[in-house]
C-alpha cells in the first residue's frame, strides 16, 4: 500500500483516465474529474525514495 503514497502512481492514473476518456467520450466529463483529483494528489504528495529491499 506504500505505492499509493507515491505521486507517480497518481500521475499514471490521471494519464490512464485521459486515455480512456478519449476512447469513450460518453464518460469524458467524469474522467476529467478523476484526472483532476489524481493530478491534485500527485502534486500534493512528496516523492519518497524507497530503499532497495
Quote the pLDDT of residue 6.
Answer: 87
Q: In angstroms, rounded to a whole number, what is the distance separating the alpha carbons of residues 7 and 36?
A: 13
Quote the pLDDT of residue 52.
Answer: 60
10 close to 42: Cβ distance less than 8 angstroms: yes
Is the per-residue pLDDT at 17 higher than 90? yes
Mean pLDDT score, 16-20: 96
What nine digits make up the cell of 48? 519518497
Cα-based distances in Å from 36 to 3, 4, 25:
19, 16, 17
Amino acid at each position: 500500500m506504500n505505492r499509493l503514497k507515491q505521486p507517480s502512481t497518481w500521475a499514471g492514473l490521471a494519464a490512464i483516465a485521459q486515455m480512456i476518456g478519449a476512447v469513450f467520450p460518453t464518460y469524458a466529463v467524469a474522467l476529467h474529474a478523476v484526472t483532476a483529483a489524481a493530478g491534485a494528489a500527485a502534486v500534493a504528495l512528496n516523492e519518497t525514495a524507497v530503499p532497495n529491499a
